[in-house]
Chains A and B, each alone.
Chain A
């Protein structure tokens, strides 16, 4: 099938590309843009490994087509790491040993950031509910929840 012109912004940089309509967003980011930090797990939206941000909202990279980010701002783990927005969460993940193989980690961090940015003081239960769409096969989740709770408490402490 004919390719379509795509104009989008990825991690703050303007990108022009020719894409097949059938190419999904995470494959476009990985293969065409070399941004392999976002991972492909289930390809049907349940595992969360492909989580990226489009116009400041977390989305499943496997359930969007690349052509659908025309005119949008896309942020991946690479960009959010480089610009420091994930700094506190990354430090907390390291401190609590919240990653082993790291496959789920980019998606997990983006989902965690979504929570810490949107919610003033989520409870542990709310943290668990928010990350329930991100599967981890290694850690058993406890350390991940601990790490996110750490950042939440830090913010609460700073604001009190």
Chain B
């Protein structure tokens, strides 16, 4: 069906956008890439009074490194295709570069934004999983100034994040790659570009004696989740067939796996384990 009527504003500065959304008496939605929002509004899963369009706020876009190359910053309005095409991202955040190939399709990636994906926090989306796997920092601005949130405290529940009313995500910051770091990514989806039925996104250091390992499962719970039992099982171990198998047996231990109407809980547990083995095996064989 067609969208319900709404008013529309297109500020050119972040401060103006924050001002516009501060009115708590109206149902106001922000539009970034619009690839999820407009689909939802087309179904009338929402009928906002006002849409505030972020697409003309230039300061929200761009990929940069700072702090002598130790910090990588992705502006919230950076398009997925820009992230995919970025040499800096490919080099410094290889998990993001790998996962971005699975995000939707070219036409969607031309409009969809990194910050928009993180703001929506779809449990089956690839970018929120990568943000959690890299323990990135989400930077948001609101009427009370700027706030920084670590990934572990950011994803709260189904489409629920630590963003407060009136706040807008400005950027997401990552630590640059360190020596000996490794990553792994596997996803199972029904078709190319679909949301994940199940997926794993992993970062870690030192294949010979694993440390700082973060194992994220996505598409299996109400938000991307860390498989803590797997992380503990692998810490201090060499990544090999034996340690991988032992860890994979704990794939969804302590994870509140849900069925989503198409895939049963049992299937999601099975997929999580299989994808974990594949991903870790691939990581272990890369030198």
Contact = CB atoms under 8 A, between A and B. Distances in A.
Given A62-B42, A129-B192, A21 B7 contact: yes
Nearest to A60: B107
A72 to B, nearest CB: 10
Contact of B3 (A24, A60, A128): A24
Interface stretch (A9-17, A42-50, A78-86): A42-50
Interface stretch (B33-41, B206-214, B224-232, B258-266): B33-41
A114 interface: yes
Contacts of A45: 35, 38-39, 104, 108
B188 to A, nearest CB: 16
Interface stretch (A63-71, A95-103, A137-145, A152-160): A63-71
Interface residues of A, number: 31
A64 B42 contact: no
Interface residues of B, number: 30
Nearest to A2: B7
A133 B2 contact: no
Interface in B3-19: 3-8, 10
Contacts of B105: 48, 132-133
B193 interface: yes
B193 A133 contact: yes
Q: Which 6 A-B pairs have the closest CB atoms?
A: A133-B105, A21-B8, A44-B39, A132-B192, A22-B3, A1-B5
Interface of B: 1-8, 10, 31, 34-35, 38-39, 42-43, 51, 53, 55, 81, 104-108, 110-111, 191-193
